Amino acid sequence: MPRNPQLNDKGELQHLLSVEGLPRELLLQILDTAESFAGVTDRDIKKVPLLRGKSVFNLFFEGSTRTRTTFEIAAKRLSADVINLNVAVSSTSKGESLLDTVANLSAMHADIFIVRHGSSGAPYLIARHVKPHEHVINAGDGRHAHPTQGLLDLFTIRHYKKDFSGLTVAVVGDVLHSRVARSLIHGLTTLGAPEVRVIGPQTLIPAGAAALGVRVCHSMKEGLKDADVIVMLRLQNERMSGALLPSAQEFNKNYGLTAEKLALARPDAIVMHPGPMNRGVEIDSNVADGPHSVILPQVTFGIAVRMAVMSMVAGGG
Amino acid sequence: MKLLVKGGRVIDPASGRDAVGDVALADGRIVEALAGKPDRVIDAKGLVVAPGLIDLAARLREPGDEYKATLESEMDAAVAGGVTSLACPPDTDPPLDEPGLVDMLRRRAKALARARVYPVGALTVKLQGKQLTEMAQLAEAGCIAFSQANAAVADTQVLWRALQYAATFNFPVWLRAEDLWLAQGGVAHDGEVATRLGLAGIPVFAETVALATLLELVRATGARVHVCRISSAAGVAMLRRARHDGLPLSCDVGAHHVHLSDMDLGYFDAQCRLEPPLRSSRDRDALGAGLADGTIDCIVSDHTPVDDDRKHLPFAEAEPGATGLELLLPLALKWGVQARLGLAQTLARVTSAPARILGVEAGRIAHGAPADLVVFDPEAPWRVSAQALKSQGKNTPFLGLELTGRVRATLVAGEVVFEG
Amino acid sequence: MAALPDAEALCASLASALAPRIGPSSAMIGIHTGGAWVAERLHAALGMKEPLGFLDIAFYRDDYDRKGLARDPKRSKIPFDVAGKDLLLVDDVLYTGRTVRAAINELFDYGRPASISLVVLVERDGRQLPICAQHAGVRVQVAAGMRLRLKRSGEGRLSLELERAA
């Protein structure tokens, strides 16, 4: 196996491609660094000059307003210049290859590429071909990884639960297609959460799930019992009917998070969701807006986490 | 032209001969002894002299994909790899479903005077799995078997009729076992690695379901079927039982699949994007064992040149396939060493066994057999690099790695077609 | 230098020197980590109105491109409005002046103070920027290749140590 492409030969983070393969100390360092960025909004000038003069290119091959926006906000809080590339209307749709697109941007002196792509592994291909001073941050590749989301989920859990060593975490929904689930599961197992469960019908749980270190449950009754953290995954529209699931209604009945099912978990359980939510499908409004929900804080934490990641990859040394 | 290949370790798997000696060639055939002095002597001291390799699957990219490779470059690659006879699959562009195309390919290959080329015709028109091709006419034009390459015949009724029709004329049918629907969208073996990497998986049962269908149809029609590129332990087990039951089957495995597993994908290495996918290490080991116990008859290169533009892409978007003509010998030798089988047994998997399936005289060293030979150094190491490969396809997971086994000379019909 | 000065004694003498200068608009900010320890001593001794603020200059350093982000940045926390205050910026050792430059830049991102006075436990030679301390516990010369560091024991006792520079 070749060396982990995310780390340079000193073990420092030069790209963020996946939570998997990051050592425990590095994960904790990212969370601690994010903690220190959380105070930036307390001041008059909500910026620090760390990335002044650096260019951050948002290279989104898959549409996403919210993730792109939070990366943009995070980059601007670091005083970086941000360029947004809506690839759907750019040269790639004219047949330009992924690597040619990146090479062209590199010629315009990019420092950080934030990449979201529909194919698993695309950011690795890019990272193999960028110049030494250029850094790649994966904003989601196919169903493989969404490391900043995984990290902000870990940050959120740590914020409310203090430490991972006694936690029971349940991840519910379309795990098969979820890069968010994979990144979070890798982070939880690295940080030592003793019980990580995935809950969903067999059609939505991947074949190799047990090898990820999780316990597979096919009922909410079994999976939510005494859970400390519940992470609801978004169910994509195209999966709601057809060969994977019969309908959104039946999914909600069996796997949607209702107040009743929430009662199976610990009384102080927190409810998370990467967003955007399908109210009434994977989560009922009274739960999404209720006292257990930390969905909005997740978004705030996401900015600090992304500031931390950008600062750590872009530093010299 | 009289030639003497002198002093090499002559290995003929078909007869069991394995001794130091000379091989005499005259008028394109192997002879017991030469009448008179040879026109040329090839010094094979310290080297192995074996029948030229016979590769049942090598894509020459002609007609159609000439920008990827040309017939000439790939024929050069073949003889540089010691391959003297090869069968090329019908998935050219356009597919080999018309006698005119087959004829043209055979002529071009013959004119280049390197390896012998045996075209495999399309089983259905345009490989679309709907309408039978004119198999008799294609056979007359030179097709030695019929195949779908990597395209499925989704309609089982069509598959049944195609096998019946082929059986009528005793035409062999070479098929991969993969269910179109179960494999749809998949790019990697459906297991732990694909789950971690977030790649759509092709489960083992995509192979076994199709194989079960195929075996039943063979039982019903009596067609002579050769199963191509078996990929799983479960598939090998099914074949073992079927052969034990006496079904008239043969089977091959891809050279890369005997050595690699899905673990080799690493960080999305598109060089490992292959059809069928590289499966688990358990599957890989079962393929090696199946080859050793005869359940699988032979190793093929499945040579598929793909240029960089189509490989330097995210895994799922990259074109599947690996270059293989020049790797067939060293990869076969490596398998033989691991299986502890000795050179004669190892070489049988790339000479006498494929010769039997192809139904040709070559693949053995005996008086009167075609003078197709390979002279090679089984111990010589070499680094697999773009420069070292004659094929225009530099796409292989072994790029940058060292392999053992180097061809020194290749002869076809008594002519030296490669010296290295 | 024969023996290193006693850090605790220096804190006490600084507090005495500062006492007459404390007014209603005064506020104190310590620079992590050594400056924060000194500021805790001074703030307690002076009984100031405003709570103590802390600055971590990790995001304002000028060596980010060479060295990357510091391993364990602490959180800056200023629990009062900086605008219009007469700030006492406290650090342990004034050496090149770059830390103070970064701290001043960071302070101005919080607001516009009325004034900033620099208070340091030790002012040593080696300035690389035009920065000076208004109040210094002691002024010293340090041998080439050596660094002066403030340490805090398990019981909280402050002491100065001389060590080889990295």
Residue B407 is which amino acid?
V
Which residues are within 8 A (CB) of B394 and not within 5 positions of it... i.e. 6 or more apart? Answer: B307, B308, B323, B386
Residue B46 is which amino acid?
G
Residue B391 above 70 pLDDT?
A: yes
Chain centroid offset of residue B166 CA:
22
B20 DSSP β-pair partners: B9
Residue B165 above 70 pLDDT?
A: yes
Beta pairing, strands B188-189 & A215-217: unpaired
pLDDT of residue C132: 95
| CA angle at A171 for the pair A208 and B281, rounded to the nearest 5° | 10
Residue B122 above 90 pLDDT?
A: yes
DSSP class of residue B58? Answer: B
Q: Does residue B94 have a cis peptide bond before it, meaning omega lies within 30 degrees of 0?
A: yes
pLDDT of residue A1: 57
DSSP SS3 for A63: coil
DSSP SS3 for C70: coil
Q: Please state the rounded mean pLDDT for residues C70-80.
A: 86
A16 DSSP β-pair partners: A137
A53 and chain C: CB distance < 8 Å anywhere? no
All chains having 3 or more CB pairs closer than 8 angstroms to chain B = A
Chain A residues within an 8 Å CB radius of B263: 1
Window 62-91 of C, Cβ < 8 Å to A: 64-69, 71-78, 82
Beta pairing, strands A229-232 & B17-26: unpaired
Contact state of A316 with C66 under an 8 Å Cβ cutoff:
yes
pLDDT of residue A165: 94
Output the average pLDDT for chain C. Answer: 92
Report the gap between the CA of A292 and the closest CA in chain B (Å).
31
Window 17-46 of A, Cβ < 8 Å to C: 29, 32-33, 35-36, 38-40, 42-45
Which residues are within 8 A (CB) of A246 and not within 5 positions of it... i.e. 6 or more apart? Answer: none
Q: Please state the rounded mean pLDDT for residues B124-133.
A: 97
**From CA A31, how far away is CA C50, in angstroms rounded?**
31
pLDDT of residue A207: 85
The sign of the CA dihedral A162, A163, A167, A170 is positive
DSSP class of residue B370? Answer: B
Q: Which of A81-95, A282-296, B36-50, C6-20 has the least mean pLDDT? A: A81-95
Placement of tokens 């090696």 in the chain: B288
Give the pair of three-digit tokens for residue A103.
Answer: 């090479």
**From CA A23, how far away is CA C72, in angstroms rounded?**
16
Which residues are within 8 A (CB) of C16 and not within 5 positions of it... i.e. 6 or more apart? Answer: none
pLDDT of residue A46: 86
All chains having 3 or more CB pairs closer than 8 angstroms to chain A = B, C
User: What chain A residue is nearest to C67 in terms of C-alpha separation?
Assistant: A317
Output the average pLDDT for chain A. Answer: 92
> Which of B196, B266, B314 lies closest to A122 in CB terms?
B314
Contact state of A119 with B312 under an 8 Å Cβ cutoff:
no
A170 φ/ψ angles, rounded to the nearest 5 degrees: -115, 125
**From CA A111, how far away is CA A315, in angstroms rounded?**
11
Residue A68 above 60 pLDDT?
A: yes
Which residues are within 8 A (CB) of B11 and not within 5 positions of it... i.e. 6 or more apart? Answer: B17, B18, B48, B49, B50, B343, B344, B347
DSSP SS3 for A260: helix
**From CA B94, how far away is CA A286, in angstroms rounded?**
60
Using an 8 Å Cβ cutoff, are B85 and B52 in contact? yes
**From CA B189, how far away is CA A58, in angstroms rounded?**
33
Q: Please state the rounded mean pLDDT for residues B248-277.
A: 97
DSSP SS3 for A34: helix
Q: Please state the rounded mean pLDDT for residues C18-30.
A: 95
User: What chain C residue is nearest to A314 in terms of C-alpha separation?
Assistant: C68
3-state secondary structure B381-404: EEECCCCCCCCCCCCCCCCCCEEE
Report the gap between the CA of A38 and the closest CA in chain C (Å).
8
All chains having 3 or more CB pairs closer than 8 angstroms to chain C = A
> Which of A99, A124, A212 lies closest to B267 in CB terms?
A124
DSSP class of residue A7? Answer: B
Contact state of C75 with A39 under an 8 Å Cβ cutoff:
yes
Substitution target from C32, C54, C64 for chain A, most A beta carbons within 10 A: C64
Chain B residues within an 8 Å CB radius of A141: 198, 314
First and final C-alpha spacing in chain A:
26
Which residues are within 8 A (CB) of B351 and not within 5 positions of it... i.e. 6 or more apart? Answer: B13, B14, B50, B51, B52, B53, B54, B363, B364
**From CA C56, how far away is CA A301, in angstroms rounded?**
20
Contact state of C59 with A48 under an 8 Å Cβ cutoff:
yes
**From CA B232, how far away is CA B188, in angstroms rounded?**
13
pLDDT of residue A315: 81
DSSP SS3 for B274: coil
**From CA A38, how far away is CA A77, in angstroms rounded?**
11
> Does C have 3 or more CB contacts under 8 Å with B?
no
- Sequence-ordered strand ranges (E) for B15-55: 17-26, 29-31, 40-43, 48-51, 53-55
B176 DSSP β-pair partners: B228
pLDDT of residue C1: 47
Determine if residue A288 is left, alpha or beta; phi over 0 gives left, psi from -120 to 50 gives alpha, anything else beta: alpha
Chain A residues within an 8 Å CB radius of C111: 43-44
C57 and chain A: CB distance < 8 Å anywhere? no
pLDDT of residue C105: 94
Chain A residues within an 8 Å CB radius of B198: 120, 141-145, 179, 182
Using an 8 Å Cβ cutoff, are A124 and A5 in contact? yes
A10 and chain C: CB distance < 8 Å anywhere? no
Contact state of A311 with C69 under an 8 Å Cβ cutoff:
yes
**From CA B293, how far away is CA B237, in angstroms rounded?**
12
> Which of A20, A119, A212 lies closest to B317 in CB terms?
A119
Per-residue pLDDT tens over the stretch A198-234: 999 999 999 889 989 999 999 999 999 999 999 999 9
pLDDT of residue A94: 64
**From CA C23, how far away is CA B376, in angstroms rounded?**
95
Using an 8 Å Cβ cutoff, are C26 and C85 in contact? yes
Q: What's the burial of C22, exposed, middle or buried (CB within 10 Å: 0-12/13-18/19+)?
A: middle
B225: confidence class by pLDDT, cuts 50, 70, 90? very high
Report the gap between the CA of C9 and the closest CA in chain A (Å).
33
Count Cβ–Cβ pairs < 8 Å, chain A vs chain C.
Answer: 61
> Which of A36, A312, A317 lies closest to C56 in CB terms?
A36
Output the average pLDDT for chain B. Answer: 95
Give the pair of three-digit tokens for residue C62.
Answer: 């000028």
Contact state of A50 with C66 under an 8 Å Cβ cutoff:
no
Q: Please state the rounded mean pLDDT for residues A298-312.
A: 95
Residues of chain B above pLDDT 70, percent: 99
Report the gap between the CA of B127 and the closest CA in chain A (Å).
27
Placement of tokens 């549409």 in the chain: A63
Give the pair of three-digit tokens for residue C121.
Answer: 């436990």
pLDDT of residue A242: 73
CA torsion, ordered B28, B29, B33, B36, to nearest 10 deg: -20
Per-residue pLDDT tens over the stretch A238-291: 777 678 898 999 999 999 999 999 999 999 999 999 989 999 999 999 999 999
Per-residue pLDDT tens over the stretch B14-45: 999 999 999 999 999 999 988 889 999 999 99
Residue B86 above 50 pLDDT?
A: yes
Residue B303 above 60 pLDDT?
A: yes
CB neighbours (10 Å) of residue A296? 11
Beta pairing, strands C115-124 & C86-94: parallel
A164: confidence class by pLDDT, cuts 50, 70, 90? very high
Q: Please state the rounded mean pLDDT for residues C39-68.
A: 92
User: What chain C residue is nearest to A13 in terms of C-alpha separation?
Assistant: C68
Per-residue pLDDT tens over the stretch A165-207: 999 999 999 999 999 999 999 999 999 999 999 999 999 999 8
Report the gap between the CA of A285 and the closest CA in chain B (Å).
30
Report the gap between the CA of A48 and the closest CA in chain C (Å).
6
Name the residue with higher pLDDT: C128 or A106: C128
Residues of chain A above pLDDT 70, percent: 96
> Which of C67, C105, C110 lies closest to A44 in CB terms?
C110
User: What chain B residue is nearest to A125 in terms of C-alpha separation?
Assistant: B314
> Which of A121, A182, A212 lies closest to B314 in CB terms?
A121
What ipTM was predicted for this assembly?
0.90
Q: Which of C101, C96, C98, C103 is nearest to C78 (CA)?
A: C103
Q: Crossing angle of helices A65-77/A295-314, nearest 10°?
A: 50
A203 φ/ψ angles, rounded to the nearest 5 degrees: -65, -20
Residue A317 above 60 pLDDT?
A: no
**From CA B63, how far away is CA B92, in angstroms rounded?**
6
Contact state of C72 with A315 under an 8 Å Cβ cutoff:
no
pLDDT of residue A153: 98
DSSP SS3 for B255: helix
The H or E element that residue B77 is part of is helix B71-80
DSSP class of residue A11? Answer: S
**From CA C121, how far away is CA C137, in angstroms rounded?**
5
DSSP SS3 for B306: coil
The sign of the CA dihedral C112, C113, C115, C116 is negative
Q: Does residue A276 have a cis peptide bond before it, meaning omega lies within 30 degrees of 0?
A: yes
Q: Crossing angle of helices B281-292/B328-338, nearest 10°?
A: 90
The H or E element that residue B282 is part of is helix B281-292
**From CA B348, how far away is CA B350, in angstroms rounded?**
5
**From CA C92, how far away is CA A193, in angstroms rounded?**
41
Using an 8 Å Cβ cutoff, are C148 and C126 in contact? no
**From CA C52, how far away is CA C40, in angstroms rounded?**
7
CA distances from C129 to C89, C97, C126 (A): 17, 6, 9
Residues of chain B above pLDDT 90, percent: 95
Residue B79 is which amino acid?
V
**From CA C86, how far away is CA C83, in angstroms rounded?**
9
A89: confidence class by pLDDT, cuts 50, 70, 90? low
The catalytic residues of B are 302
DSSP SS3 for B228: strand
pLDDT of residue C165: 85
DSSP class of residue A52? Answer: T
C53 DSSP β-pair partners: C29
Placement of tokens 């006075």 in the chain: C117
Contact state of A97 with B313 under an 8 Å Cβ cutoff:
yes
**pTM tops 0.80:** yes
Q: Please state the rounded mean pLDDT for residues C60-74.
A: 86
